[in-house]
């Protein structure tokens, strides 16, 4: 791969890539984080942490020499959290259909 | 000390530079208005000439609350917000919550109650109308609005300032990573080196000292910007199938068994006096849920206690006026998430330890403005020889860097004139726009940016020096009456403007004299 295309892939991972993964993580974290003593930690912590998650992904994409590793880390985080959201919607969809009958 | 490999350091230098260049001017505008907005409350008191020092919550309000409840339709009894407006008058917003175009809003009737307990103003409207600018707070409201969303309509304004916050976060972290000798750099100021090195040292020292502050501001600022615009809808979608009201209720609601039986509201005077004793401070805000019902709840919000960081809130039974519990600001019980969310606001606004923390936040905010301004300057100087087309950026830097404070001061002067006539909500932003347009036009027409910078400094000094006479001429309180009324902040702000204006004028005059002297010497040598 040419240095030019490597650079553009890195920019894509650090820019739109990091934003998408951070937003999907924010949604997914609400489903697996514990609620804590007040039962709200899973709702509040993702909202607080999203700028830091984005910054972490951004600097990882800028500083890691291996593009493959950046893509794997971002891809795994995206797949896990995206999967959790899909599972949640998959579970609520039939229940909603049942309740409408 | 941080030792990144050469290539990564180069990448971080590029990231640091571009994060400042792409959004640096917007970042400067957001940080400068935010720095001024640290003292928004004090600026509001100073500009409107408020001299009452007794809070509305220290005056009897029980009868007023009952009377207001009686005259308000029951559909707006779902919630009541109580807060101070104007010169310590009481604002009461009876409302219900509803969804409007996918957004949660409050709609109801807003009353302003004067010091004698009589209603001086009432209006029907939404929270946007109630919490929007009024004639007497148009200036402080304008400052806050510029900082929060740069006057771009929501949600785009908040998204823009959120992105600016993230670019500041990137600049702060990359700035830390490119320091090879962090401790040494903090104290290195080479005064006799060439001008580029001197400026680099100043940028580096100011930036390094304010680095933790920049990180905190950027993090908390982007949190506030993205919270309602992106965060809440996304988390509500994931956890409650998109029901924002359910999320809000889960996070902010007061748990308890619903009891819709009618019941008169308890004695509000007992609630406010008890809350002041328990919290050690007057409430900044009081919220009532289910007014006129047996399950009514009253929450009073107070600033943090001495040495504390998180604000305090107390929960009372609305029908009996009995104290229930110290309530966490967020959530029904103390939790890690609730505490973290509660300290975001004091960390961003610097209002957790009175004037001292506000002064520190103001100073560090000013340092951030300096770092942003000098950072862009350094970036330009490094590219001065290579690209002539960057001249426009140099002009834009002077126009924004020095023109923005001039335009803000012009809107302050306009506010002082317009407020007694009742037209401050129009003239405060209008004068800012007129001044900005004039500065932008002059900035691109002026022969050199250095000469234009001196003109702007002179304008800044002149407006600062006329603010005191203008304030007094338009009916503002004098120093003796302000001090007698327990409002030293009016005198302090007058003095701050006079001193800063005087120093700026002296600096401009000294620079032009030394230039004239240099020109004279050049002519003599030529002869």
Chain A residues in contact with B337 by the CB 8 A cut-off are 36, 38, 40-45, 48
pLDDT given for residue B527 in this prediction: 45
Exposed/middle/buried for residue B526 (C-beta within 10 Å: 0-12, 13-18, 19+): exposed
CA distance B139 to B110: 22
Interchain CB distance below 8 Å, B333 and A23: no
Distance from CA of A63 to the nearest CA of B (A): 6
Interchain CB distance below 8 Å, A43 and B226: no
Chain A residues in contact with B15 by the CB 8 A cut-off are 62
Task: Check CB contact of A88 with chain B, cutoff 8 Å.
Answer: yes
pLDDT given for residue B526 in this prediction: 45
Helix segments in B317-353, DSSP class H: 336-349
User: Do residues B225 and B165 touch, judged by C-beta distance below 8 A?
Assistant: yes
Interchain CB distance below 8 Å, A50 and B231: yes
ipTM above 0.85, yes or no: yes
Task: Check CB contact of A42 with chain B, cutoff 8 Å.
Answer: yes
User: Do residues A78 and A70 touch, judged by C-beta distance below 8 A?
Assistant: no
Interchain CB distance below 8 Å, B335 and A43: no
CA distance B358 to B6: 40
Interchain CB distance below 8 Å, A58 and B170: yes
Q: How many CA atoms lie within 13 A of B189 on its CB side?
A: 9
User: Do residues B113 and B64 touch, judged by C-beta distance below 8 A?
Assistant: yes
First to last CA, chain B: 56
Distance from CA of A75 to the nearest CA of B (A): 20
Interchain CB distance below 8 Å, B250 and A28: no
CA distance B263 to A20: 50
Q: How many CA atoms lie within 13 A of B43 on its CB side?
A: 25
Cβ partners under 8 Å of residue B298, min gap 6: B266, B268, B271, B286, B287, B288, B289, B315, B316, B317, B318, B321
Three-class SS of residue B472?
helix
Chain A residues in contact with B250 by the CB 8 A cut-off are 39-40, 43
Strand partners, B302: B312
Q: What number of C-beta contacts closer than 8 Å exist between A and B?
A: 111
CA distance B211 to A82: 35
Interchain CB distance below 8 Å, A38 and B332: yes
* Of A46, A53, A65, residue with least CA distance to A21: A53
User: Do residues A61 and A77 touch, judged by C-beta distance below 8 A?
Assistant: no
Best residue in A19, A26, A63 for a mutation probing chain B (most B CBs within 10 Å): A63
Strand arrangement, sheet containing B119-126: B119-126, B103-113, B89-100, B79-85, B285-289, B297-302, B312-317, B323-327
User: Do residues B386 and B422 touch, judged by C-beta distance below 8 A?
Assistant: no
CA distance B146 to B412: 14
CA distance B474 to B467: 10
Q: At what angle do helices B488-526 and B40-48 cross, to 10 degrees?
A: 90
With a cut of 50, which residues of chain B have pLDDT below it?
A: 522-523, 526-527
Which 8-state DSSP code applies to residue A38? Answer: T
Dihedral pair phi/psi, residue A37, rounded to 5°: -60, -35
Beta strands in chain A (DSSP E): none
Tell me the CA distances in angstroms from A76 to A53, A61, A73, A84, B444, one per residue in order. Answer: 14, 14, 5, 12, 51
**For A75-95, b where at least 16 C-beta lie within 10 A, e where not — what string?**
eebbeebbebbeebeeeeeee
Interchain CB distance below 8 Å, B335 and A38: yes
B8, B11, B338 ranked by CB distance to A40: nearest: B338
Chain A residues in contact with B238 by the CB 8 A cut-off are 27-28, 30-31, 85, 88
B170, B222, B336 ranked by CB distance to A36: nearest: B336
Interchain CB distance below 8 Å, A62 and B15: yes
- Radius of gyration over alpha carbons of chain B, in Å? 26
Chain B residues in contact with A88 by the CB 8 A cut-off are 238
Interchain CB distance below 8 Å, A28 and B239: no
Interchain CB distance below 8 Å, B250 and A39: yes
Distance from CA of A54 to the nearest CA of B (A): 9
Exposed/middle/buried for residue B100 (C-beta within 10 Å: 0-12, 13-18, 19+): exposed
Exposed/middle/buried for residue B517 (C-beta within 10 Å: 0-12, 13-18, 19+): exposed
Distance from CA of A41 to the nearest CA of B (A): 5
Three-class SS of residue B104?
strand
Interface of B with A (CB under 8 A): 4, 7-8, 11-12, 15, 165-166, 169-170, 173-174, 218-219, 222-223, 226-227, 230-232, 234-235, 237-239, 241, 247, 250-251, 328, 330-338, 340-341, 344
Kindly identify which residue of chain A lies nearest to residue B232, measuring between CA atoms.
A47
Interchain CB distance below 8 Å, B335 and A50: no
CA distance B469 to B174: 46
Q: Classify the C-alpha dihedral B465-B471-B474-B478 as positive or negative.
A: negative
- Radius of gyration over alpha carbons of chain A, in Å? 17
Which 8-state DSSP code applies to residue B153? Answer: P
Task: Check CB contact of A17 with chain B, cutoff 8 Å.
Answer: no
Q: At what angle do helices B449-473 and B391-418 cross, to 10 degrees?
A: 10
Displacement of CA B144 from its chain's centroid (Å): 4
CA distance A97 to B373: 58
Exposed/middle/buried for residue A28 (C-beta within 10 Å: 0-12, 13-18, 19+): buried
Interchain CB distance below 8 Å, A42 and B239: yes
Task: Check CB contact of A23 with chain B, cutoff 8 Å.
Answer: yes
First to last CA, chain A: 56
pLDDT given for residue A101 in this prediction: 46
**Average pLDDT for residues A16-44, to the nearest whole number?**
94
CA dihedral A18, A23, A28, A33 (to 10 degrees): 90
Q: How many CA atoms lie within 13 A of B184 on its CB side?
A: 6
Chain A residues in contact with B338 by the CB 8 A cut-off are 38, 40-41, 44
CA distance A13 to A9: 6
DSSP B380-446: HHHTTTT-GGGHHHHHHHHHHHHHHHHHHHHHHHHHHHHGGGT-HHHHHHHHHHHHHHHHHHHHHHS
Kindly identify which residue of chain A lies nearest to residue B224, measuring between CA atoms.
A48
Question: Residue A98: is its pLDDT beyond 70?
Answer: no
Interchain CB distance below 8 Å, A40 and B331: yes
């Amino acid at each position: 791969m040419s240095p030019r295309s490597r650079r553009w892939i890195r920019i894509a991972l650090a820019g739109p890539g990091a934003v998408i993964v951070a937003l999907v993580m924010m949604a997914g974290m609400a489903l697996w984080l514990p609620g804590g003593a007040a039962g709200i930690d899973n709702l509040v912590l993702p909202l607080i942490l999203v700028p830091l998650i984005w910054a972490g992904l951004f600097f990882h994409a800028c500083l890691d020499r291996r593009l493959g590793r950046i893509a794997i880390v971002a891809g795994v985080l995206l797949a896990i959290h995206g999967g959790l959201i899909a599972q949640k919607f998959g579970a609520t969809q039939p229940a909603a259909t049942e309740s409408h009958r | 000390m941080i030792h990144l490999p050469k290539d990564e350091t180069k990448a971080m230098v590029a990231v640091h530079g571009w994060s400042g260049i792409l959004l640096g001017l917007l970042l400067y505008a957001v940080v400068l208005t935010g720095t001024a907005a640290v003292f928004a409350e004090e600026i509001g008191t100073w500009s409107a000439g408020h001299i009452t020092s007794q809070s509305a919550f220290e005056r009897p309000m029980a009868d007023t609350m009952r009377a207001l409840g009686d005259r308000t339709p029951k559909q707006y009894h779902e919630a009541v917000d109580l807060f101070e407006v104007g010169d310590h008058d009481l604002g009461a917003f009876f409302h219900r919550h509803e969804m409007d175009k996918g957004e949660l809003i409050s709609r109801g009737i807003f009353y302003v109650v004067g010091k004698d307990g009589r209603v001086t103003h009432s209006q029907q409207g939404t929270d946007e109308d109630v919490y929007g600018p009024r004639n007497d707070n148009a200036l402080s409201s304008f400052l806050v609005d510029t900082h929060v969303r740069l006057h771009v309509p929501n949600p785009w304004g908040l998204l823009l300032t959120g992105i600016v916050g993230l670019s500041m976060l990137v600049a702060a972290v990359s700035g830390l990573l490119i320091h090879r000798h962090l401790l040494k750099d903090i104290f290195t100021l080479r005064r006799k080196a060439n001008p580029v090195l001197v400026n680099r040292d100043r940028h580096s020292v100011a930036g390094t000292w304010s680095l933790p502050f920049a990180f905190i501001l950027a993090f908390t600022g982007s949190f506030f910007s993205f919270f309602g615009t992106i965060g809440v809808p996304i988390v509500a979608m994931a956890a409650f199938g998109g029901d924002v009201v359910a999320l809000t209720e889960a996070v902010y609601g007061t748990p308890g068994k619903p009891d819709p039986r009618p019941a008169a509201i308890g004695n509000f005077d007992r609630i406010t006096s008890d809350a002041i004793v328990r919290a050690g401070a007057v409430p900044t805000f009081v919220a009532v849920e289910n007014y006129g019902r047996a399950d009514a709840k009253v929450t009073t919000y107070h600033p943090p206690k001495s040495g504390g960081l998180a604000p305090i809130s107390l929960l009372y039974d609305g029908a009996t006026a009995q104290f229930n519990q110290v309530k966490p600001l967020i959530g029904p019980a103390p939790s890690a998430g609730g505490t973290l969310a509660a300290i975001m606001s004091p960390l961003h606004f610097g209002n957790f330890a009175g004037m001292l923390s506000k002064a520190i936040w103001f100073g560090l905010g000013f340092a951030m403005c300096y770092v942003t301004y000098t950072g862009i300057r350094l970036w330009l100087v490094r590219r001065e020889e290579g690209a002539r087309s960057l001249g426009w950026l140099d002009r834009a830097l002077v126009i924004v860097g020095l023109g923005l404070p001039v335009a803000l001061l012009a809107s302050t002067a306009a506010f002082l004139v317009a407020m007694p006539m009742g037209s401050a909500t129009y003239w405060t932003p209008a004068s800012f726009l007129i001044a900005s347009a004039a500065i932008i036009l002059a900035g691109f027409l002026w022969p050199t940016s250095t000469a234009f910078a001196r003109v702007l400094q002179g304008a800044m000094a002149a407006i600062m020096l006329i603010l005191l006479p203008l304030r007094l001429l338009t009916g503002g309180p004098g120093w003796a009456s302000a001090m007698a009324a327990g409002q030293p902040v009016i005198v302090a702000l007058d003095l701050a403007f006079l001193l800063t204006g005087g120093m700026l004028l002296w600096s401009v005059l000294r620079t032009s004299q030394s230039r004239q002297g240099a020109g004279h010497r050049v002519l003599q040598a030529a002869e």
